[in-house]
Amino acid sequence: MNRSSWMTLIASMPTAWGFACSRPLGQTEGTKTVSWQTAAPTLARSGIPRQFTTTSRVALVGNDWKTLNADVAALEDRGHLLLFEPTPLEVHRQAARWFWDQEIFDFIADHLHLMAQHSLRTYCHAWELKRADLNWRQAVLCRCLTGVALAVAKLKADPAFGSEDERVRTFVQSGAGCRAIFPARQAAATGS
């Protein structure tokens, strides 16, 4: 069986199958032979050949890439490793092209500096929570902060507080820290 003139795309591949098929596909020879020897009876019953030749190229697509061992390093050596890692600002600019809720959009913009890995899903999740009359601000903050910084950011984002003193009092009463810690954590949580 010969396959040619098309690209093989393997997304979220199981490790054993992925390595068995990807290594030969990544070879530099013009024609490659891909084979697998496991589950042979099942393949035979389904009319699936145990090997084929191809001249196609391969693309491995995944949400995360780690060089865990020599097998993964061998795959990297056979191709081009391209990482898609947009900055939070680039993600926000993309959201500006389609996202419809200005209040959520502006809130996220004010907190971009806190986000190590931003996602377009943040906008949709916040909007769903807002529609359900739930605390969407807290959900956004939970995606980028933890611990005391999160506690401070939640208090700062809560419009129910009439003053900074009320926020500090609530912070201390919650056990998150003392009055002296609040300003330092506030600066860390807000970037000021």
Q: What is the pLDDT of residues 61-118, one digit of tens each?
A: 666 777 777 777 777 777 777 778 889 999 999 999 999 999 999 999 999 988 888 8
Give whole-number Cα distances, 103 to 3, 36, 110, 152, in Å.
Answer: 52, 54, 11, 20
Q: Helix (H, G, I), strand (E, B), or coil: what is residue 8?
A: strand
Check: pTM over 0.75? Answer yes or no: no
**Predicted confidence band of residue 1 (pLDDT cuts 50, 70, 90):** very low
Return the higher-pLDDT residue of 105 and 22. 105
Q: What would the mean pLDDT of 168-177 be, rounded to a whole number? A: 84
Q: What pLDDT is stored for residue 66 in this prediction?
A: 75
Q: Helix (H, G, I), strand (E, B), or coil: what is residue 149?
A: helix
DSSP state of 114: G
Query: How far is residue 29's CA from residue 49's CA, in Å, rounded to a whole number?
Result: 22
Q: What percent of the chain has pLDDT over 90?
A: 23
Query: How far is residue 91's CA from residue 95's CA, in Å, rounded to a whole number?
Result: 6
Q: Where are the beta strands (DSSP E) in 4-105?
A: 8-11, 32-35, 51-54, 58-61
Q: Which two tokens stand for residue 16?
A: 């054993």
Query: How far is residue 164's CA from residue 146's CA, in Å, rounded to a whole number?
Result: 21
Please state whether beta strands 58-61 and 32-35 pair in parallel, antiparallel, or not at all (unpaired).
unpaired
